[in-house]
Amino acid sequence: MYTVDIFKSAGSQINPNTASIIIGIVQVVFVFSSMMLVDRIGRKSILLASDIIMAISLAALGFYFYLKEQHHEIISQLGWVPLACLISYIVAYSGGAGPIPWIFLAELIPPHVKGF
């Protein structure tokens, strides 16, 4: 949603619009793949792994912006970091934290309440 703004403020060498398109494609691919993996691997393990990967991705992106503000000379070599962090975040979110709560919600409500 804010990927263009994130990439503009990151100062990455990658075109912000191109990076947003890449992230959108990755999100679509992993939403469909998560539908197939949820019942095979288990909801709890996927949700836990998803949360851990999302936390690591956002911490790494935050550290990148910290380095950008404090140590300008290091950042010139790390232009790929924002794209990698956001892709790993989107993969983790689309694979677990995004769809699994909706599955839980559908299973918690009894059918007679839903109107079936």
User: Across residues 15-24, what is the average pLDDT?
Assistant: 87
d(CA 102, CA 105): 5
Q: What pLDDT is attached to residue 20?
A: 87
User: What is the per-residue pLDDT across 70-94, written as a single tens digit (0 to 9) for each?
Assistant: 887 777 777 788 889 989 999 999 8
Q: Is 56 exposed, middle or buried (0-12, 13-18, 19+ CB in 10 A)?
A: middle
User: What is the per-residue pLDDT across 23-69, written as a single tens digit (0 to 9) for each?
Assistant: 889 888 888 888 788 878 888 888 999 999 999 999 999 999 898 88
DSSP characters for 71-112? -HHHHTT-TTHHHHHHHHHHHHIIIIITTHHHHHHHHHS-HH
Structural domains in the chain?
Answer: 3-114 (1.20.1250.20)
Q: What pLDDT is attached to residue 56?
A: 98
Residue 44: what are its φ and ψ, rounded to 5°?
-65, -45
pTM given for the model: 0.78
